[in-house]
Amino acid sequence: MKNWKRRWALFLAAALLLALSLTGCGGSGEGPALSVCVGGAPEELDPIYATETADQTVLVHLYENLMRKTGDGSGGTTVTNGAAKSVSTEENADGTVTWTFKLRKAEWSDGRAVRAGDFVFAWQRLADPANDSPSASLLSVVAGYDAVRETGDVSLLQVTAEDDSTLVVVLNGKFDWFLTEVCTAPATMPLRQDLLQEETAAADGETAEAAA
């Protein structure tokens, strides 16, 4: 299992370096060079398992989440728009709060558009108890989270793609730290379901060959 996780992490690193560009450029020509001092070699590059500072530093520079933390000029941090170009909220009669994120135009570097569904997949994967992520509780404020943890049915998580550029999240109530903590965390950054499925199939094939 540990070897499989390591292969998964290496795949994610390669996929990020070769297939991800959330800068909005995503066009032809050479991509920008990236030099980052992380203090140590990263050990885990799967976003839902990365807990070490070095690992998260790499992920923050490779992905872009809905929001981003930046310096406020006085030694502190503030939150600004990342992949989301706008955010709106609506309080519902049952006490829940609906957050709607409109995504800006961006492409993965293979030319495929970054879609709201990429966030839905990532958040469902994070909440799934089968994945046993140490960061899963980040989504405990999202409506349906407890039901997902009890049943394993990730479709119960109230995170949906209204269309390719509109992500809708329903929270159990008012949580001012949702934008600053959940929407900037490495564990909630978008993922390509098609690429992960391809790697899963390849890993399963290797396991079958080794067992033969």
Q: Which residues face 171 on adjacent strands? A: 97, 142
11 three-state secondary structure: helix
The pLDDT of residue 145 is 98
The pLDDT of residue 29 is 47
Q: Are 159 and 95 in contact (CB under 8 A)?
A: no
The pLDDT tens digits for 160-203 are: 999 999 999 999 999 989 999 999 999 999 998 888 877 665 55
At 197, give phi and psi (nearest 5°). -65, -40
Domain ranges of the chain: 2-211
With CA atoms as reference, report the closest residue to 54 among 73, 71, 40.
Answer: 40
Which helix (H) or strand (E) covers residue 161, if one does?
strand 159-163
The pLDDT of residue 53 is 76
With CA atoms as reference, report the closest residue to 44 among 135, 140, 108, 121.
Answer: 135
105 residue type, one letter? K
Per the listing, tokens 């790499």 go with 58
Which helix (H) or strand (E) covers residue 206, if one does?
helix 193-211
Residues in the chain with pLDDT < 70? 1-42, 44, 55-56, 59, 61, 199-212
The pLDDT of residue 20 is 45
The pLDDT of residue 17 is 42
Per the listing, tokens 């706008």 go with 86
The pLDDT of residue 18 is 40
Indicate the CATH number of 2-211 among 3.40.50.11540, 3.10.180.10, 3.90.76.10, 3.40.50.300. Answer: 3.90.76.10
